[in-house]
Structure 1
């Protein structure tokens, strides 16, 4: 038998391998997607936030909170509210807000940390805030309006100082859950900064 007669037989297995490779490339992803859908393995969770989402919606206007700039181009805010005055727990949240702000890295200039007090700070507190947190913005908070606006939310949110994320339009979007560390709020804020078109 000559070499020319054997060539078609030797070529046939290579042609079959190419056909199988093409079928695998086309059907492989479909099979993997079907397996993921039926076993629910490898499917991302629908909820991406780690902190408590504020629903029903609140705004800083509900709290009669006078912030200098609200709207497109305004900063995101890490807002500490202290309707009864700023105690050590309040100062711990102010410190945490600053740390989260710094940890946003190159996006830090898009974020402000703000303290909203229900009563004026005394001289000692003012000195401490100016010394320890020179970039901290301060605002006044209407305690009654604040508590009334939180009537439909968890009772714990109305007690003591709280840490919130406020978007550039003045909507209060996230609440720091005491059961979650600041890292969870940082992850959520980084995600918001990444997808945000307003601030």
Structure 2
């Protein structure tokens, strides 16, 4: 009789331990949410949401040259009004830094002169819109909606970081 009681107690302890092991992550997550312990407060996006701007198809642009690309390409549009050659070169290098995802991005150079670089489309403002800022960069999704807007002060490494993150969370 004594061994039966010990066996039952042992089984109860095992069941209690299994219950604790499987409920601990839920209790931990609830505590993190309730008391904001261990929840990162940092911002991951360096650009700002561009929900106030019109769709790309409604931009007042005069197309100069077309880039080869498919329907599923994101567009990196940039206003090339100051230090244009340097800006084009650094954004072209950023595009190459995407590696195997480079085919998912096309660049739209607005206001640039000369020959289009690979993966680039040249355009001009038909009439500069009121929301335009010199040397800004906009990341546009395949449907023409603006995802992020980057002022000229944002380093290209941060634009690359945001682009890679968007490609990661928006798999083909």
Scaled by the length of structure 2, what TM-score is found?
0.76
Equivalent residue, structure 2, for 1:180: 154
- From 57, 61, 66, give the equivalent of 1:64: 61
Q: CA deviation at 1:32?
A: 0.7
Equivalent residue, structure 1, for 2:93: 99
Matched residue SS, 1:141: strand
Q: Which runs of 5+ in 1 are unaligned?
A: 151-156
Paired residues in the alignment total 169
- From 50, 56, 61, give the equivalent of 1:54: 50
**Superposed CA RMSD:** 3.2
Equivalent residue, structure 2, for 1:154: none
CA contact (8 A) 1:78 1:101 kept: no
Scaled by the length of structure 1, what TM-score is found?
0.67
**Alpha-carbon displacement from aligned partner over 1:67-117 (angstroms, at most 9, x marks no partner):** 748xx82421222213x4xx42x2332223212211222111111223111
Q: CA deviation at 1:163?
A: 1.8
Determine the C-alpha separation between the residues in 1 that align with 2:108 and 2:66.
11
Q: CA deviation at 1:23?
A: 2.3
**Alpha-carbon displacement from aligned partner over 1:99-152 (angstroms, at most 9, x marks no partner):** 22112221111112231117xx3xxxx3xxx5xx741523222253x333x1xx
**More helix, by proportion:** 1
1:135 aligns with 2:118: yes
Q: Which runs of 5+ in 2 are unaligned?
A: none
Higher CA-based Rg? 1
